[in-house]
Amino acid sequence: MADSGKKWYALRAISGQENKIKAYIEDEVEYAGLQDYLGQVLVPTEKVYQIRNGKKVSKERNYIPGYIMVEAHLVGELVHTIKNINGVIGFLGAEKGGDPVPLRQAEVNRLLGKVDELSESDEQINIPFVTGETVKVIDGPFNGFTGTIEKINEEKRKLEVMVKIFGRKTPLELSYMQVEKE
């Protein structure tokens, strides 16, 4: 991984623009002819699943907002080239304005391992419901009924919803896909 003196550095960037800044870094370094000193530029992201309008929607979210990991051999103009790119705040270092401090190998392994693990585990769904919230049943025999959430079972991905049927409160066990927020 660390060939020809390349080490991993954490680069602070404007949050929300990490992918754009990553592209700028790669283009600028290539334009300056310094691509031999630059390895990978990585924006740590994780895949998050949310339920919107009854559908499972996947979305990539930054795992560490505001930071980009750069594998580089920081020599000569490379540091200045990267620092002068729009949106780059600077390298993470021991002191303000000092030399960039490389990440420890254990940190790099942990971060890269976490990124790999997050890209593999694709079945994590954010639970968009809260106990006590009012929801509308959109699927099944109780379609059109409204009720309040009593319990949330994350493992089974089910909700226990209390619905009024013929004037009596009745508990229903429904999946996340069978209800929507009111």
* In the chain, % of residues over pLDDT 90: 16
Residue predicted with more confidence, 116 or 174:
174
CA 28 to chain centre: 26
User: Would 7-120 and 134-181 be classified into the same CATH topology?
Assistant: no
Parse the chain into domains and list their residue ranges: 7-120, 134-181
Residue predicted with more confidence, 164 or 61:
164
Half-sphere exposure of residue 70: CA atoms within 13 angstroms, side-chain side: 33
Which pLDDT score is estimated for 2?
41
pLDDT 10s digits, 116-156: 555 555 455 566 788 899 999 888 888 899 999 999 888 78
Amino acid at 18: E
Question: Rounded to 5, what percent of the chain is helix, strand, coil?
Answer: 25, 40, 35
**CATH classification (class only), 7-120:** alpha beta
What average pLDDT does range 145-173 have in this prediction?
Answer: 89
Which DSSP string corresponds to 42-90?
A: E--EEEEEEEETTEEEEEEEESSTTEEEEEE---TTHHHHHHTSTTEEE
Which pLDDT score is estimated for 173?
92
Q: Please name which of 104, 33, 119 lies closest in space to residue 69, comparing C-alpha atoms.
A: 104
- The DSSP output letter for 96 is T
CB 85 within 8 A of CB 76: no
Which pLDDT score is estimated for 115?
60
CATH assignment of 134-181, among 3.40.50.1100, 2.30.30.30, 3.30.300.30, 3.30.1330.10: 2.30.30.30
Distance CA 18, CA 22 (A): 6
> Is the per-residue pLDDT at 21 higher than 60?
yes
CB 115 within 8 A of CB 49: no
> Is the per-residue pLDDT at 6 higher than 80?
yes
pLDDT 10s digits, 68-78: 999 988 887 88
pLDDT 10s digits, 94-119: 677 677 888 888 888 877 776 655 55
